[in-house]
Structure 1
C-alpha cells in the first residue's frame, strides 16, 4: 500500500498534480485535502480507471484523516503569486499554511517523504524542518523542496537555443527556487559552448525569472500552475519509484545538507555555512541516499553563486525563525 496525500488538492496546482498522480500504478491511495471543494475533485478523479483509490477531505477537522499514515505528502497549498508580487511577498500568508500542514504531518505521518511546493520554497522548507524538530521526528533525508520546475524550464529554454529533445536534455539547476538563487549550470551541458556569452546570460535570466513570464502572460489570472503540476508530479513520482522499488534516481532538489554530510562536502566548499541548497541527489528507499557533487563551474557561474548565497541565507533564516521565534505549534 502506498498512500500519497496532496495538501491543496483543489487549487490550480493541486488539481492537475492530483490528476497526474492518479495515473501511477504504484499509488494505491490518493488522499486529497483542501479547505474547500475537495470532495468534488475526489469524486471526479475517482472515475478514472487506474489503480489508486481516491478520497477527499475538506477542512481542518478532516486533516488528520487525510494525512494519517501517508508515505508521501505533497504540499502545493497556498496563495498564488500575482503581478508585481515576489515569492518573498508570499511568505506572510503561506508560512502559516505550511506550518499547520507540517504539524499535522509530524503528528500523523512522521515517516512520510515531504515534498514542499508552496512558495517561497527557500523559506518554507526550513519551516517544515523546524516543525519536525519540535516534534522530535526530524529526518533530513525525507524533507524536500521541489525545484523541478526550474529544471523543466531549463531543459525547454536551452533546447530552443541548441536544438535536440527537451524531454531528454538534462540541465543541472542548483541553489534555491527564486530569482537569483536559481543557478543553472549551463557549462555542464553539451552544446552550450556554441552559445555566445550574451545568449548564456539571457537564458540564465529567463530560467531564473521564468515564473514572472507566466504571471505576466496570465495578466492577473494566476501564476504557473500547469507546468508546476507537471514538475511536482515528476518529483513526487520519482520519490515513490525510489522508495517502493529502490530505484536509484537522480534529481536536483532543495534539501538540508545534513541529509548526507559526507556527500555535501563538495557543496559546502562552495556555499560555506548555508544549511540548505538545491543539489543533485540520488533518491532511494530512505529518501536522500547520496548528495552528489555539484561539479565544475566556470567563472560566470561562480559569480552567480556569489549573488545567490547571501539571498539564500536570508531566506533560510526567515523560514527557520518563523518557527523558532514564536509561531504557535
Structure 2
C-alpha cells in the first residue's frame, strides 16, 4: 500500500510521469495536483487496468492539502519549462516561489513523506524545500532528494553510443555526481560498468562529457522553443521513484545517485573527499526504509574528473546559497 503524489501533474513532465507511476503495481493510490487540468488527467489515467486509484485535485477547496493527505512519496515536477536562451538562473526566479509554496503544504500536511524534487534548478530548489521544512521543524535529510537520474540515464545512453552498440544502454552504469546543471554534472566515466576504449582520443571523451552535462540544451534546441526535456525526465523521475518505493517496502542494497543534504552518515567523509565545505551534493546514496541510509564517497577518480569536480564546486556553492537565501532573507 503506497500513496504517491505528483505536484504539477498536468505539465509536460507531470503527465508522462503520472502515467508511468500508474503502471507501477506497488502504487495503490495516486494523487495528482496542478493549477489546471489535474482532474482530467486523473480520469484519463483511471481507465488503465492497474491497481492504483487515481484522483486529481485543483487549488480550490484545499485541493493541495487533500492531495497530500496520507502521502508517502511526493514527486515535484511543478514549474515552468526551460525555453531557448533561458538559463537555469532564469528558471529560478519563477520556480523558486512555486516550490516554496508546495514545500509549505508538504511540511504542514505530509511531513513524513519522501520528497523527490524535479523542479529546476534542482541545485537551488532542494535547499529551498529544506529551509521551509526547517522553519516548520520537520526537516529530515534522509527523506529529501533531488532527482538527478536523467544525468545517469543520459550517461548510459551516450556511452553506449560511443561504444557503438545502443543495445548496451540499459546495462551501462555510469556514476554521475555533483549537481544537476551544466558544469555541476560530473560523469565518472572511469567507473563506467562498460569501460571506454583505452585508445579513445581526448576530444571524443571531452565531447561525451559535454553532451552529458548539456544534454538538456540539446533537447531545448531540437524542440525549437516548444519545450524542454519532458519525456526523458519523466522516465528518469519514474525510475528514481520506483527505487524509493522498493526501498520503502524493505528492499536492501539499492544505491542510486541523488542530490542530498550532507548532514547525515557519509556526508562529512564526502566533504573531505571534495575538499570543500558545502551542504548539498549529488552522490551515490544507499537507500533504506527510512530514506538515505548512507552517502557513499567518490571512490577512485581520474585526474580529469577531479578537474571537473573542482570546476563544479563554486557553482554548487552559489546555487545552494541562492536557494537558502530565498527563504532566509526577509522580503521587503
TM-score (norm 1): 0.97
Q: Does 1:181 align with 2:184?
A: yes
In the alignment, which residue of structure 1 is the partner of 2:224?
219
Contact residue 253 and residue 281 of structure 1 kept, 8 A = yes
> 2 CA distance for matches of 1:131 and 1:169?
37
In the alignment, which residue of structure 2 is the partner of 1:287?
291
Moved over 2 A (4+): 245-248, 266-269
- Which ranges of structure 2 fall in alignment gaps of 5 or more residues? none
Q: CA offsets per residue over residues 269-311 of structure 1, 9 Å max, x none? A: 3141011000000111010011112111111111111110001
Structure 1 segment 1-329 matched on structure 2, within 5 A: 1-59=1-59, 61-164=62-165, 165-189=168-192, 190-194=194-198, 195-260=200-265, 262=266, 264-326=268-330
> 2 CA distance for matches of 1:54 and 1:321?
37
Secondary structure at the aligned position of 2:226 is classed as coil
Contact residue 267 and residue 294 of structure 1 kept, 8 A = no
Secondary structure at the aligned position of 1:245 is classed as coil
> 1 CA distance for matches of 2:207 and 2:85?
21
Q: Aligned residue pairs: how many?
A: 327
Q: CA offsets per residue over residues 104-132 of structure 1, 9 Å max, x none? A: 00000000000000000000000000000
Shift of residue 267, structure 1, vs aligned partner: 4.2
Contact residue 32 and residue 38 of structure 2 kept, 8 A = yes
> 1 CA distance for matches of 2:108 and 2:147?
22
Contact residue 187 and residue 193 of structure 1 kept, 8 A = no
> 2 CA distance for matches of 1:148 and 1:131?
24
Shift of residue 136, structure 1, vs aligned partner: 0.4
> 1 CA distance for matches of 2:286 and 2:249?
15
* RMSD value, Cα: 1.3
Contact residue 271 and residue 278 of structure 2 kept, 8 A = no
Shift of residue 66, structure 1, vs aligned partner: 0.5
Shift of residue 327, structure 1, vs aligned partner: 5.7
Contact residue 189 and residue 195 of structure 2 kept, 8 A = no
TM-score (norm 2): 0.96
Distance 1:78 1:263, change over 3 A: closer
> 2 CA distance for matches of 1:265 and 1:172?
18
> 1 CA distance for matches of 2:210 and 2:21?
31
